[in-house]
Structure 1
Amino acid sequence: METTTKNILVAPLNWGLGHATRCIPIIRELQKNGFTVIIASDGAALHMLQKEFPQLLSLELPSYDIEYAQNEDDFKWTLIKNSPKMIAAIFTEKKIVKKWLTEFNIQGIISDNRLGVHNKKVPSVIITHQLNVLSGDTTWISSKLHQHFIKKFTECWVPDIEEKPNLTGKLGHLKDKKLRVKYIGPLSRLEKKELKPLYDLMIILSGPEPQRTILEQKLKKEIRSFKGKIVFVKGIIEPEQKKEKSRNVLFYNYMTSEELERTFNKSKMVLCRSGYTTVMDLAKLKKMAFFIPTPGQFEQEYLAKKLKRDGFVPFATQDDFVIENLLEVGLYKGLPQLRKDVDWAALLMLFERE
């Protein structure tokens, strides 16, 4: 019996919400090109995609159960401590995916940084902007290990452009061309719209606890002396959306993609983490921004430094940030809009093989 549906499994890592949100444009493109998408993840990433695509079948994968370093000194120790749990989760994922292949008639896989979600029987793609994984003195080990897993996939899609200026720098570009890498251009679920400015500052928090809460508490104190209108998105996914107004600040626990798009477009300036998904969104929306990287996350610290050095966006560490730092924003160019017209039909031909 011939099946007409082409089922593609899309599985983002649950590490902050970035991996899940950048899968949204990919899910939309798959649907436009006649594929049926099955979502798989765990925790907040899974809940967010279920809210975004309530009509799609969603499956649960084991959690990588990653603990986050409180600070830079703990990073390597936390990495070593997490490794056995992560490797166990990767092997469990492989077994589950093998079972799902027949159970759900899966004909292709797109994994965003889930290293065990692939199978030799079907074309398997990994999406990552980290061909090199920065971890201080252990960068060479973490990068080699990551590249070892990437090689197990049919293709590796990097959401950036190959030439300079680009957004990822050494994270997404290797001198050694052994990996089957395709640069697909920055991915964002958001569109630029010409809307009348409503907010002078948009604050959007994301990422792991306890650092999300620490930054929220710090910023609540700092913004007391800010004169303009502020919209503050805490980045807490809860069953119901909550909003509250306090003087010149409108607080939200979370926003849907649609609300975020509208709010970004209505804000003059954005204060946020320097996670790569946020960087891609801001580039697409041509927004002026200020970054506070998550302490102990080498990748965010590297991106913030690189983008400041390139003259695009200023940053400060979480400990050092004061509200007056926002005056620096006007001295920078803002992120470049890196246009890369992706031929999605050609890219997705990978899954058309019989």
Structure 2
Amino acid sequence: MKKNILVAPLNWGLGHATRCIPIIKALETKGYTPIIASDGVALGLLRKEFPHLLALELPSYQIEYPKNGWFFKIKILMNSPKMVNAILSEKKIIRRMVKEHDISGIISDNRLGVRYKKVPSVFITHQLNVMTGNTTWLTSKMHQYIIRKFDECWVPDVSSTPNLTGDLGHLDKPIDTIKYIGPLSRLHKKPLEKKYDLMVILSGPEPQRTFLEEKLALELLNYEGKIVFIKGKIEPKQTVEIKNHITFYNYMNTEELETAFNESDRVLCRSGYTTIMDLAQLGKKAFFIPTPGQYEQEYLAKKLKKEGLVPYCKQDKFKVKKLMEIDLYKGLRDFKTAITWKEVFHLFEK
């Protein structure tokens, strides 16, 4: 009998869902039956990628971004009662799902209530420390408390130095259940002929995703070279629009995205961790624009710039001429870490 494993990513942009794609594929390869659970665009993306798998809906955490990024902490604090209610609801739903669908294991990517004490439960995160400015110590302790409630915590990075996450994914006093599984990416490097000088790929919560789309659509009219622009909008049908030297897509599936990355010389994107893992896998040079007010992305952008790997600037400061800085930096590199999935999934065989 194949074991059913629930895979439940947080719906915060597309990053958590996309980094679960290689996990879901590996589960199938190793003889498990994945069951998908999420909400919103994350669930929509995984349904498109795995139409043959059972996909279940979980309560939304109702994460909303303020129009002004500086008010992010206040917005999150105001939404916290809704988030707590969603976590409590999903805990009840998970208990029911385990019984109804005979689930033998749970993989939660940052969904705090997706665990069950009678089933081996894994938490995936690259944020062992949660950056929130002057409250980082508090949010980090709270997150580490939750991590300890799971049987294992998988960190998609390497334990040694150099690494991709820095202080985000490494603790002075490690937690026993932490397992570094190596960077996760659904993409592979291929020797394709260059088609685009620049690839733009967007993601993240609204309204900031739309703000950046509108800004770049205007600013990049002054760019000299061919551009492929993926908006990161998961809609029922794919749309393609060509304006001058820019080809716009509302979204791409994994295969199309892999091709576009390999056909592009440079990448302009957010500094989300999933995107960073993809860039490292492909050995790409890039330019980052962190989501305003998102401390994690700001930290990663500063870290990688300081290491001479990738330049960045704030969203309101971006001008097309800044892309010339890309050539002054080394770009990200692949750690060449081969994930041994049999060892990673060992918990589900106990």
TM-score normalised by structure 2 residue count: 0.98
* Structure 2 residue 73 is the aligned partner of structure 1 residue 76: yes
Residue in structure 2 matching 1:197, options 191, 194, 199: 194
CA contact (8 A) 1:76 1:138 kept: no
Indicate the residue corresponding to 2:159 in structure 1: 162
Alignment of 1:1-354 (within 5 A): 4-353=1-350
CA distance in 1, matches of 2:70, 2:11: 24
Give the AA of the match of 2:277: M
List per-residue Cα deviations over 1:66-96 (Å, max 9, x = no partner): 1213334312212211222212111111111
Structure 1 residues not aligned, in runs of 5+: none
CA displacement at 1:141 relative to structure 2: 1.4
Q: Which is worse superposed, 169-178 or 77-86?
A: 77-86
Separation (CA, whole Å) in 2 of partners of 1:25 and 1:335: 20
Instruction: Compute the displacement of 1:336 (Å).
Output: 2.1
CA distance in 2, matches of 1:287, 1:336: 7
Contact 2:70–2:292, Cα closer than 8 Å, also in 1 = no
Structure 1: distance between partners of 2:338 and 2:327: 30
TM-score (norm 1): 0.97
In the aligned structure 1, how far is the partner of 2:144 from the partner of 2:64? 22
* 1:308–1:315 Cα contact (<8 Å) kept: yes
Is contact 1:75–1:135 with CA below 8 Å preserved after alignment? no
Matches of 1:329 and 1:289 in 2, distance apart? 6
In 2, Cα distance between the equivalents of 1:67 and 1:10? Answer: 23
Contact 2:64 2:206 in 1 (8 A): no
Distance 1:291 1:90 in 2: 32
The letter of the residue matching 2:212 is L
Q: Deviations over 1:82-119 (max 9, x none)?
A: 22221211111111111111110000000000011011
Task: Please give the per-residue CA displacement for 1:103-160, whole angstroms capped at 9, x wherever unaligned.
Answer: 1000000000001101111110000000111111111111111111111100000000
Please give the alpha-carbon distance, in whole angstroms, between the structure 1 residues aligned to 2:159 and 2:259: 30
Structure 2 segments unaligned to the other structure (5+ residues): none
Shift in CA distance, 73/251, structure 1 to aligned 2, threshold 3 Å? closer
- Superimposed CA distance per residue, residues 183-207 of structure 1 (whole angstroms, 9 cap, x where no aligned partner): 0110000000010000000111111
Q: 2:172 is aligned with what amino acid?
A: K
Identity of aligned residues (%): 63
Paired letter, 1:303: L
The 2-side partners of 1:13 and 1:89 are apart by 12
**Deviation of the 1:39 alpha carbon:** 0.3
Residues of 2 paired with 1:248 and 1:76: CA distance?
A: 39
What amino acid is the match of 1:192? K
Confirm or deny: 8 A CA contact 1:69 1:296 kept in the other structure: no
One-letter amino acid of the structure 2 residue matched with residue 66 of structure 1 = I
Give the distance between the partners of 2:257 and 2:321, measured in 1 at CA: 25
